[in-house]
C-alpha cells in the first residue's frame, strides 16, 4: 500500500500493473525529452541575438517539427494499445467474484461456492485493533488465491461507484443496471487495499476494499472466510 511521502507508484502485484509501471516510465522519459527540448529552444531564443530577420525558407526545420511529433505519438500509442488489449483479455478464469456497490459498502458473491454472499463494511475507529489501518480496514475481507486468474464482475445497486485496487492495476466502474468485468492474476500473497474511486455521495471516502491473497494450496484446503 502507499505510504507517507511516497513519490512513485505502488509495487506491482500483478502482470498488468507491471506493464502499467513500465509504460509510465516509458512515457515519462518522452515527456522529459520534450520538456528539455522546449526549454532549450526558449533559452536560445532569449539569449541569442536575432541578426537575420528575413529568413523565409526553412523546409528542413518544418519537416523535423512535423515528423518528430508523429514518431513520438507512435512510440506512445503502440505500447498503450498493447496494454489496453491485455486488460480486456479473459482467459478461462479459475474463480469468479461478483462485487456490488452500495451507499456506502460493498457486497461480494462467490458464485463458484454455492452463492456465498457477504457485506464488507469499513471498520469504525472504535473497533480497530493494533495494526489495523484507519479508513481502510473492513470487517470482512475478500479472500482470493494467488497465481490463478480471477474474474471480477462489478455492478452497483444505487449510484455510480468504482472498484479500484491500485497495486493490482484495477479500476472498474460499478454502474447500476450494467455488469462490467475485469480480470487479474496476483503474483504474491498479502493484504492489499483499495477504495471506491467515483464520487458517490456523502460517505464516498468510507468505502474501502481489502483483498487478502493467499497461496492457492491453502485456498483449496477449505473455507477461509471469517464472516
Domain annotation covers residue 2:
no
Residues 55 and 140 occupy one common structural domain: no
- pLDDT at site 57: 64
Distance CA 24, CA 169 (A): 12
Flag the least confident range among 25-39, 55-69, 144-158, 205-219.
55-69
Residues 183 and 126 occupy one common structural domain: yes
| Residue entry with cell 471498520 | 123
Task: Give CA separation, 221 vs 5, 95, 224, in Å.
Answer: 40, 15, 9
User: What are 32-67's pLDDT values in tens digits?
Assistant: 999 998 999 888 888 877 666 555 566 777 888 889
| Residue entry with cell 473497533 | 127
Q: Taking 90 as the threshold, does the pLDDT of residue 98 lie above it?
A: yes
Domain ends where: 88, 116, 131?
88
Domain annotation covers residue 226:
no
User: Strand, coil or helix: what is 162?
Assistant: strand
Residues 74 and 131 occupy one common structural domain: no
- pLDDT at site 211: 94
**Per the structure, how many domains does the chain have?**
2
CATH number of the domain where residue 211 is located: 2.60.40.420
Distance CA 107, CA 99 (A): 6
- pLDDT at site 102: 93
Domain annotation covers residue 38:
yes
Kindly give the pairing relationship between strand 105-110 and strand 95-102.
antiparallel
Task: Give CA separation, 36 vs 29, 30, 31, 33, 76, in Å.
Answer: 11, 10, 9, 5, 18
Residues 132 and 149 occupy one common structural domain: yes
User: What are 164-176's pLDDT values in tens digits?
Assistant: 999 999 999 999 9
Beta strands in the chain (DSSP E): 95-102, 105-110, 116-120, 142-145, 150-156, 161-165, 170-174, 180-184, 190-196, 208-214
What would the grid cell of residue 43 be?
533559452
Domain ends where: 88, 123, 147?
88
Domain annotation covers residue 210:
yes
Domain ends where: 44, 65, 88?
88
Residues 100 and 147 occupy one common structural domain: yes
- Which domain does 60 fall in, by range? 15-88
Amino acid at each position: 500500500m502507499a505510504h507517507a511521502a511516497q513519490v512513485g507508484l505502488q509495487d506491482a502485484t500483478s502482470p498488468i500493473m507491471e506493464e502499467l509501471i513500465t509504460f509510465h516510465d516509458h512515457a515519462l522519459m518522452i515527456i522529459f525529452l520534450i520538456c528539455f527540448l522546449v526549454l532549450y529552444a526558449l533559452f536560445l531564443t532569449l539569449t541569442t541575438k536575432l541578426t537575420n530577420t528575413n529568413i523565409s525558407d526553412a523546409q528542413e526545420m518544418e519537416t523535423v517539427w512535423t515528423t518528430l511529433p508523429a514518431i513520438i505519438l507512435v512510440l506512445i500509442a503502440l505500447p498503450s494499445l498493447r496494454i489496453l488489449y491485455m486488460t480486456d483479455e479473459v482467459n478461462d478464469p479459475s474463480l469468479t467474484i461478483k462485487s456490488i456497490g452500495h451507499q456506502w459498502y460493498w457486497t461480494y458473491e462467490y458464485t463458484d461456492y454455492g452463492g456465498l454472499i457477504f457485506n464488507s463494511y469499513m471498520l469504525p475507529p472504535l473497533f480497530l485493533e493494533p495494526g489495523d489501518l484507519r479508513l481502510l480496514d473492513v470487517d470482512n475481507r475478500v479472500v482470493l488465491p494467488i497465481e490463478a486468474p480471477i474474474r471480477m464482475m462489478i455492478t452497483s445497486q444505487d449510484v455510480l461507484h468504482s472498484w479500484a485496487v491500485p497495486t493490482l492495476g484495477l479500476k472498474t466502474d460499478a454502474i447500476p443496471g450494467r455488469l462490467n468485468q475485469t480480470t487479474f492474476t496476483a503474483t504474491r500473497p498479502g493484504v492489499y487495499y483499495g477504495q471506491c474511486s467515483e464520487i458517490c455521495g456523502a460517505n464516498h471516502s468510507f468505502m474501502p476494499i481489502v483483498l487478502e491473497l493467499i497461496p492457492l494450496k491453502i485456498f483449496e484446503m477449505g473455507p477461509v472466510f471469517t464472516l
